[in-house]
């Protein structure tokens, strides 16, 4: 039952972040959706928040599971204030991708790559977190390429096949952020169960 609750919380976090971050991208005309798929109050396609929420739940549940499987409990900066700072930095990285004007996409991509790795170093520092972040970035970019290729939406000025070259950096940072939220929820649940067993 606790796994379901954690999954629901992570799903809601993913939906909220998708709505906020997608709104930033649409306002700057970074992503363009066909008029017939726009059907929400945030001028976003209805399926984007659902997909992001589902991915958020899967990633957030996967991180603590992988930590347990590898026998490497994640102990670096394990408090809610650190997780909230990580979320703020992730939103800032996404905001930079939409608002900051660079001379070309390569400069923006390299800057966002450095910021994303900095986010991992500041809030995670685990090998499993880095590996999962890379895997998530690869898979999410591949899915984005397929969706854009099939005309579901498009990016303005694509320079990495059909998408922007900085997109994997955003996915990497998002994976690390959601993974930290998932780890913190799992640790909170573990503390509650431990306290309950001590009381009994």
Report helix angle 80-99 to 167-199, nearest 10.
170
Percentage above 70 pLDDT, the chain = 81
Q: Report pTM.
A: 0.83
pLDDT in tens, 152-196: 777 777 777 777 788 899 999 999 999 999 989 888 777 666 666
Confidence category of residue 76, pLDDT binned at 50, 70, 90: low
More confident residue, 71 or 92: 92
* DSSP H or E segment with residue 31: strand 31-32
Confidence category of residue 78, pLDDT binned at 50, 70, 90: confident
Confirm if 173 and 116 have CB atoms less than 8 A apart. yes
């Amino acid at each position: 039952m606790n796994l379901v609750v954690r999954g629901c919380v992570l799903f809601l976090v993913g939906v909220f972040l998708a709505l906020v971050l997608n709104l930033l991208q649409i306002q700057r005309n970074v992503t363009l959706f066909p008029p017939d798929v726009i059907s929400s109050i945030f001028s976003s396609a209805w399926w984007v928040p659902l997909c992001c929420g589902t991915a958020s739940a899967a990633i957030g549940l996967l991180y603590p599971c992988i930590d347990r499987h590898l026998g490497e409990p994640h102990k670096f900066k394990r408090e809610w204030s650190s997780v909230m700072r990580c979320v703020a930095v992730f939103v800032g990285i996404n905001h930079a991708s939409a608002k900051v004007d660079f001379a070309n996409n390569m400069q923006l991509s390299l800057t966002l790559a450095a910021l994303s790795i900095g986010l991992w170093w500041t809030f995670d520092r685990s090998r499993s977190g880095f590996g999962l972040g890379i895997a998530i970035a690869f898979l999410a970019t591949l899915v984005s390429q397929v969706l854009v290729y099939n005309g579901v939406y498009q990016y303005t000025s694509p320079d990495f096949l059909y998408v922007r070259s900085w997109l994997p950096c955003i996915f990497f940072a998002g994976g690390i952020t959601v993974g930290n939220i998932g780890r913190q929820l799992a640790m909170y649940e573990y503390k509650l169960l431990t306290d309950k067993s001590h009381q009994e």
